[in-house]
Amino acid sequence: QQPVQSPQAVILREGEDAVINCSSSKALYSVHWYRQKHGEAPVFLMILLKGGEQKGHEKISASFNEKKQQSSLYLTASQLSYSGTYFCGTEITGNTPLVFGKGTRLSVIA
Amino acid sequence: DGGITQSPKYLFRKEGQNVTLSCEQNLNHDAMYWYRQDPGQGLRLIYYSQIVNDFQKGDIAEGYSVSREKKESFPLTVTSAQKNPTAFYLCASSILGAGKQPQHFGDGTRLSIL
């Protein structure tokens, strides 16, 4: 079942923060996050495994709340280069294909 | 450099015609995937394969066919039975046990109807 992402779209000014959520009605094994620029391939950001871990690098981090079956992606002090569509992909077991959400379109303006 | 190569970048299909999209990877990945992307719909799984000579249907397999004769190659055929083929098609690969491993994507093929 397709995970639900929110919000569908968000506009930020440079330097502002954003949170993108990804929720599932099923128990998850892992959550993947990708960013896609228009007309390009999705680029991998990070993976979170069940166990409620939090990961991050530089100003982009994510958490996975196993009780809620929800992952959140945090973008702090946004830059113009953060613009794009963010997708979460969820996995029920460790060897099944990812099911992607519909995406969140993020636009960062000067 | 290792990666995934999709070709062609743009493809046009006439009514009643079958077309084949190429996907080749040199990452030595066992698993390969085909996704269809429509505006506002995210990535929807068409077919996937975890081993040579074996593949599984995804959520929207109707009107599509695949083969996996070599580990490196996973071509997708869009048949005439697919009545709305206009979309952006993405091929991906990963190490098996993808829960801990990212998927790597090709640059995509944009298919349109003439």
Is the CB of residue A64 less than 8 Å away from at least one CB of chain B? Answer: no
Residues of B in contact with A40 (CB under 8 A): 107-108
Averaged confidence pLDDT in chain A: 91
pLDDT of residue B99: 60
List b or e across B80-112, with b for residues whose CB sees 16 or more CB atoms inside 10 angstroms. Answer: eebeebebebbbbbbeeebbebbbbbbebbebe
- DSSP one-letter code for A95: T
Per-residue CA distances from B60 to A23, B34, B37, B53, B56 (Å): 22, 10, 11, 20, 11
Residues of B in contact with A29 (CB under 8 A): 99
Q: Where are the beta strands (DSSP E) in A9-103?
A: 9-13, 18-23, 30-36, 43-49, 54-57, 60-65, 70-75, 84-91, 99-100
pLDDT of residue A14: 96
pLDDT, mean of residues B17-24: 96
B100 to chain A, minimum CA–CA distance in Å? 7
- DSSP one-letter code for B98: G
Please identify among residues 18-57 of chain A the ones whose CB lies closer than 8 Å to any CB of chain B: 29-30, 32, 39-44, 47, 49
Q: The tokens of B63 are what?
A: 């009107």
Is the CB of residue A92 less than 8 Å away from at least one CB of chain B? Answer: no
| Contact between B107 and B24 (Cβ < 8 Å) | no
Q: Is A4 exposed, middle or buried (0-12, 13-18, 19+ CB in 10 A)?
A: middle
Ranges of H-type helices in chain B: none
> Are A95 and B107 in contact (CB < 8 Å)?
no
pLDDT digits (tens, 9 = 90+) for A44-74: 999 898 776 666 667 899 999 888 899 999 9
- Beta bridge mates, A46: A33
Averaged confidence pLDDT in chain B: 92
Q: The tokens of B25 are what?
A: 């990877």
> Are A93 and B99 in contact (CB < 8 Å)?
yes
- In single-letter form, the type of residue at position B7 comes to S
Per-residue CA distances from B102 to A46, B8, B35 (Å): 8, 24, 15
Query: For residue B49, what is the nearest residue in chain A, using CA coordinates?
Result: A97
pLDDT of residue B16: 86
pLDDT over threshold 60, residue A18? yes
A14 to chain B, minimum CA–CA distance in Å? 25
pLDDT, mean of residues B104-114: 93
pLDDT over threshold 90, residue B43? yes
Torsion, Cα A38 A42 A48 A50, to 10 degrees, reads 100
Question: What is the C-alpha separation between B90 and B73, in angstroms, rounded?
Answer: 14
Nearest by CB to residue B99, choosing from A29, A43, A99, is A29
pLDDT digits (tens, 9 = 90+) for B71-108: 999 999 999 888 899 999 999 999 886 567 889 999 99
Q: The tokens of A43 are what?
A: 């680029």
Task: Please compute, for residue A61, the number of CA atoms within 13 A of its CA located in the half-sphere on the CB side.
Answer: 11
Nearest by CB to residue B42, choosing from A39, A87, A97, is A87
> Are B103 and A44 in contact (CB < 8 Å)?
yes
